[in-house]
Amino acid sequence: MLSALDPVQVLEAPDVTVTGIAADSRAVRPGDLFVCIPGAHVDAHQFIPDALRRGAVAVVTQRPWAVPTGIGAAVVPDARLALSALADRFYGHPSRALRMVGVTGTNGKTTTAFLVEAIARTAGKAMGVIGTAGMMLGREVLEGKSGYTTPEPQTIHRLLAAMLQRGAWGAVMEVSSHALEQRRTDHCRFDVAVFTNLTHEHLDYHGDMEGYYAAKARLFRGLQPGAAAVVNIDDPYGRRLAEEIPAGVRTLTYGFSEGADIRAEDVHLTGPGARYRLITPVGEADVEAPHLFGTYNVSNAMAAVGAGLALGFSLQDAVAALGTAKGAPGRFERIDEGQDFTVVVDYAHTPDGFEKLLSDVARIKEPGSRVIMVFGSAGQRDPSKRPDMGRIAGEYCDVLVLTEEDPRTEDAMEIARQIASGVARDEVEIHLIEDRVEAIREAIRMARTGDIVLITGKGQETELEVQHPTTWRGDVVEAVDALRDRAREEARGVRA
């Protein structure tokens, strides 16, 4: 195993059999190799004794230590890179045997990944998906949500190997900026890399937009000759990236911009979906996407079509897939219990995500109806975006119900007040309700015929990071329950 590392200083090399890899001492099983990752807050070197007690037979560190007899040990300059190399080696380099697509960007990764899988499936190819919504191959869920957009290397390569064993032709993976910075995907060989956009997010981690861009660009710098880059040139960072793609890598641009290789024209939002004319290097086609609402989903569809064409699929297969695809769970997911107003659960949680979602909702809003929006902002994350989220929501919405959204150790209502400080229009009605369950219920209680209720920020997620007990089970579940309770009240004549 240690031969996969270069450079490496081997401290002890007994003849041991490694049966697994772990980077968290609590996950160590007998026979595992334990890799110590220095973290921002916790240094795994202090957990070596715990890993050994749990049965680790070898340890990789970034500094020398007193190695017990019979334990394999090595020192490397970069433990994260070592973890990636070891995981790839241990599971037999699975990405080399699969057609791999990596999707990166602030917004649109999940939907784009799901659409790439749909195109492959329409063409008769089985493609696994790794990302925010979980890890799956077709209808089989290989593993639930990991807590990360992009899992750790040992999980990535284990899943890719499992997909390969089950007959997968390829895999599409959401690749986050954190994962790229932390080298989780360094030993994944990507055939296609997709860039969706880059907007204000994660600056608490990357420092500034330049650092954020540099992390995203790593995915493309790692492409080998013969691979393809699919880049959104509606985005200024995408235009920059398109000029920096390595030699020998094919570039396919997409967007609404004149000159894009893949372009959508004559876009009409149809309420639940969209229709448009798609222009590509291999021909043109009319697209009917009845389940993919919004111009942002037209952009996601163009990204997926670009990836599909780069993989060798036909335009006909891509268009057919868009005609039936429903996108990803928790992405403009309509909740229909027969009510006379619209309820939508969406993952939008950034200023740019709000702008794209709300500007499209404004185009389908009926005269005299209202937009009621339930949302918050994550605690212990970039606070500078909070007033911007309030400003944008206030421009488009009539009622804001501000609530908890993974506040972690912060005060959810203080976060809500920071959001509210950005609202400029006096006529916007603002409610601060800490309990997310009650916030959703209040929004649905106040809805009138024709109104649009948007519940954003959590999407398909079912865990809320709070410091107090909560009964919240996910926005979709809570919205369904609230609608059914409202219907029962109306049937009993309780509501006016």
CB atoms < 10 A from the CB of 306, how many? 29
Q: What mean pLDDT do residues 256-284 have?
A: 96
According to the annotation, is 184 in a ligand binding site?
yes
According to the annotation, is 176 in a ligand binding site?
yes
Cβ atoms of 361 and 371 within 8 Å: the answer is yes
CB atoms < 10 A from the CB of 281, how many? 10
The predicted pLDDT at position 43 comes to 80
| Residue whose structure tokens are 């939508």 | 344
The predicted pLDDT at position 96 comes to 98
Nearest to 80, CA basis, from 135, 43, 51, 105: 43
| pLDDT reading at 202 higher than 70 | no
CA dist 419 and 393 (Å) reads: 9
Cβ atoms of 372 and 447 within 8 Å: the answer is yes
The predicted pLDDT at position 181 comes to 94
- At 147, the pLDDT band (50, 70, 90 cuts) reads low
- At 317, the pLDDT band (50, 70, 90 cuts) reads very high
The predicted pLDDT at position 2 comes to 67
According to the annotation, is 470 in a ligand binding site?
no
CB atoms < 10 A from the CB of 431, how many? 17
CA 432 to the chain's CA centroid: 28
Cβ atoms of 108 and 196 within 8 Å: the answer is yes
Residue 137 pairs with which residues in a beta bridge?
128, 140
Cβ atoms of 287 and 299 within 8 Å: the answer is no
According to the annotation, is 457 in a ligand binding site?
no
CB atoms < 10 A from the CB of 313, how many? 20
Average pLDDT, the chain: 94
Percent of the chain with pLDDT strictly greater than 70 = 97
Helix (H, G, I), strand (E, B) or coil at 116: helix
| pLDDT reading at 91 higher than 80 | yes
Q: What mean pLDDT do residues 133-160 have?
A: 87
According to the annotation, is 211 in a ligand binding site?
no
Which of these ranges, 143-147, 154-158, 308-312, 344-348, has the smallest mean pLDDT?
143-147
- pLDDT tens readout for residues 393-415: 999 999 999 999 999 999 999 99
According to the annotation, is 104 in a ligand binding site?
no
According to the annotation, is 25 in a ligand binding site?
yes
- At 194, the pLDDT band (50, 70, 90 cuts) reads very high
According to the annotation, is 111 in a ligand binding site?
yes
- Which residue did the predictor score with more confidence, 311 or 206? 311
The predicted pLDDT at position 347 comes to 94
According to the annotation, is 108 in a ligand binding site?
yes
Q: What mean pLDDT do residues 349-372 have?
A: 95
According to the annotation, is 462 in a ligand binding site?
no
Cβ atoms of 434 and 404 within 8 Å: the answer is yes
| pLDDT reading at 372 higher than 90 | yes
- Which residue did the predictor score with more confidence, 417 or 272? 417
- At 307, the pLDDT band (50, 70, 90 cuts) reads very high
| pLDDT reading at 247 higher than 60 | yes
CA 451 to the chain's CA centroid: 29
Q: What mean pLDDT do residues 358-362 have?
A: 96
**Angle, helices 153-165/79-90, rounded to nearest 10 degrees:** 20
Instruction: Give burial (CB, 10 Å; 0-12/13-18/19+) of 144.
Output: exposed
The predicted pLDDT at position 134 comes to 85
CA dist 119 and 117 (Å) reads: 5
According to the annotation, is 277 in a ligand binding site?
no
CA-CA distances (angstroms) from residue 405 to 146, 374, 382, 417, 465?
18, 10, 13, 13, 8
CA-CA distances (angstroms) from residue 32 to 27, 51, 58?
9, 9, 7
* DSSP structure class, residue 440: H
Q: Are strands 274-280 and 262-269 parallel, antiparallel or unpaired?
A: antiparallel
Whether residue 38 is preceded by a cis peptide bond, meaning omega within 30 degrees of 0, is no
- pLDDT tens readout for residues 50-68: 999 999 999 999 999 889 9
DSSP string, 223-270: PPTT-EEEEETTSHHHHHHHTSPPTT-EEEEEESSTT-SEEEEEEEE-
The predicted pLDDT at position 204 comes to 66
Q: Which helix (H) or strand (E) holds 286?
A: strand 283-289
Residue 8 pairs with which residues in a beta bridge?
none
Both tokens of 109, joined, read: 């990764």
The predicted pLDDT at position 206 comes to 66
According to the annotation, is 106 in a ligand binding site?
yes
Cβ atoms of 95 and 157 within 8 Å: the answer is yes
Residue 390 identity (one-letter amino acid): G
- pLDDT tens readout for residues 32-47: 999 999 877 788 889 9
* DSSP structure class, residue 406: S
Q: What mean pLDDT do residues 378-407 have?
A: 96
- At 203, the pLDDT band (50, 70, 90 cuts) reads low
User: Domains of the chain (ranges plus CATH)?
Assistant: 2-90 (3.40.1390.10), 94-324 (3.40.1190.10), 333-491 (3.90.190.20)
The predicted pLDDT at position 139 comes to 81
Cβ atoms of 437 and 472 within 8 Å: the answer is yes
